[in-house]
Amino acid sequence: MTYLITGGAGYIGAHVTRAMTRAGQRAVVLDDLSTGDANRVPEGVPLVIGSTLDRDLLNRTIAEHGVSGVVHLAAKKQVGESVELPLHYYRENVIGLTVLLEAVAAAGVRSFLFSSSAAVYGMPDVDMVREDTPCLPLSPYGETKLAGEWLVRATGAAHGIATANLRYFNVAGAATPELADVGIFNLVPMVFEKLENGRSPLVFGDDYPTADGTCVRDYIHVEDLAEAHVAAALRLTEWAAAGAPRDLTVNIGRGQGVSVREMVDLISEITGIERSPEIAPRRAGDPARVVAAADRIHDELGWKAQHDARAMISSAWAGWRHLRDA
């Protein structure tokens, strides 16, 4: 069994590739290296440099490496940028996925795992976000992920491919310092940058209907996320081998909420850099609480997150210092 991992040189993709190889699975990575780093790909794993928009390259890669399953993570993923560049996001995330699915169906590949996002839900007004919570994305990025789920599900049904859509919540942490997130787009690295530069971290709104007035989110360690991919990919392979392809859509989260204030305080404690946060006005579209119901993935795959917020921040901080010292 050989899995094609698109985007496998990126932050999440590299963790998934590492987890797959540690589980004894063969992998080949396809990445255009626009945000990925070839040094993240484990030794012995072939790296094909290119885009999912390149059908000829996809055909050759699938044939030459005997690909029998796909884990598709390659995508543009910045919400704000997607608002400014919707055509670019739809081309990369939807058309790129379409071309990949065409190649997969033509080659007879029988399992396909899609990296989706909690962004498909938009601003849900519920205590726990379940997989049947209505999907009302608020950005072109979220729209492309929801459209991607539709494409994957429909293609699987039409071509006998076992498929899964994994909806990530807020990803943080690192398995090793070398695999840390190099982007400064999410809460944890944004707070690191502020503290390291002697500035107060920003908290957008402290008047939400939550325990401390700040937004509550579900944070998931990237190593747990990678293990969820392995569990899902192996289950899809079992279904395909049994000749009973199915479709699975699951949240990947801890099922526990942590407020922004709690995260900032914990980051200050772990880094040893104390600065009171600056309270800024609410951001448009920020719901008070977004926490995953994570029971379906446990029931279907036996998976459960193992790392807490402290482990996420500690590993992310070790990675931050490593990357700054490199």
pLDDT digits (tens, 9 = 90+) for 284-304: 778 899 999 999 999 999 999
Mean pLDDT, residues 64-69: 97
pLDDT of 244 reads: 83
The one-letter code for the residue type at 273 is I
- Residue 141 annotated as catalytic: yes
Mean pLDDT, residues 269-285: 91
The answer, yes or no, to whether residue 325 has pLDDT greater than 90, is no
Mean pLDDT, residues 23-30: 97
pLDDT of 318 reads: 96
Mean pLDDT, residues 222-231: 98
Q: How many CB atoms lie within 10 A of CB 34?
A: 12
Mean pLDDT, residues 90-102: 98
Q: How far apart are CA 231 and CA 326, in angstroms?
A: 33
pLDDT more than 70, % of the chain? 100
The answer, yes or no, to whether residue 326 has pLDDT greater than 90, is no
Per-residue pLDDT band at 283 (split at 50, 70, 90): confident
The answer, yes or no, to whether residue 108 has pLDDT greater than 90, is yes
pLDDT of 287 reads: 87
The one-letter code for the residue type at 272 is G
Question: What is the sign of the dihedral through the CA atoms of 264, 266, 271 and 274?
Answer: positive
The answer, yes or no, to whether residue 107 has pLDDT greater than 90, is yes
Q: How far apart are CA 28 and CA 31, in angstroms?
A: 10
Q: How far apart are CA 60 and CA 76, in angstroms?
A: 24
Q: Are strands 26-31 and 170-172 parallel, antiparallel or unpaired?
A: unpaired
- One of 141, 168, 208, 219 is an active-site residue; which one? 141
C-alpha triplet 161, 138, 5: angle, nearest 5°: 35
| Helix ranges (DSSP H) in 95-134 | 96-107
Q: Where are the domains of the chain?
A: 2-171+220-252, 172-217+254-291+306-325
Whole-angstrom CA distances from 265 to 203, 222, 275, 316 are 11, 21, 9, 15
Global pTM reads 0.96
Domain 2-171+220-252 has CATH 3.40.50.720: yes
Per-residue pLDDT band at 76 (split at 50, 70, 90): very high
Q: Is 86 left (phi over 0), alpha (psi -120 to 50) or beta?
A: alpha
Q: How far apart are CA 21 and CA 24, in angstroms?
A: 5
Q: How far apart are CA 298 and CA 302, in angstroms?
A: 4
The answer, yes or no, to whether residue 59 has pLDDT greater than 90, is yes
Whether residue 49 contacts residue 32, with contact meaning beta carbons closer than 8 Å, is answered with: yes
Whether residue 47 contacts residue 9, with contact meaning beta carbons closer than 8 Å, is answered with: yes
C-alpha triplet 108, 113, 116: angle, nearest 5°: 140
List own/partner pairs for 133-137 with CB under 8 A and 24 or more apart.
none
Whether residue 253 contacts residue 218, with contact meaning beta carbons closer than 8 Å, is answered with: yes
pLDDT of 183 reads: 85
DSSP structural state of residue 292: B
**Helices 96-107 and 140-159, interaxial angle, to 10°?**
10
Better-predicted residue by pLDDT, 23 or 285: 23
Question: What is the sign of the dihedral through the CA atoms of 71, 76, 79 and 82?
Answer: negative
Mean pLDDT, residues 64-81: 95
CATH architecture type of domain 172-217+254-291+306-325: Alpha-Beta Complex (3.90)
Question: What is the sign of the dihedral through the CA atoms of 181, 186, 192 and 194?
Answer: positive
The answer, yes or no, to whether residue 8 has pLDDT greater than 80, is yes
pLDDT of 245 reads: 85
The answer, yes or no, to whether residue 146 has pLDDT greater than 90, is yes
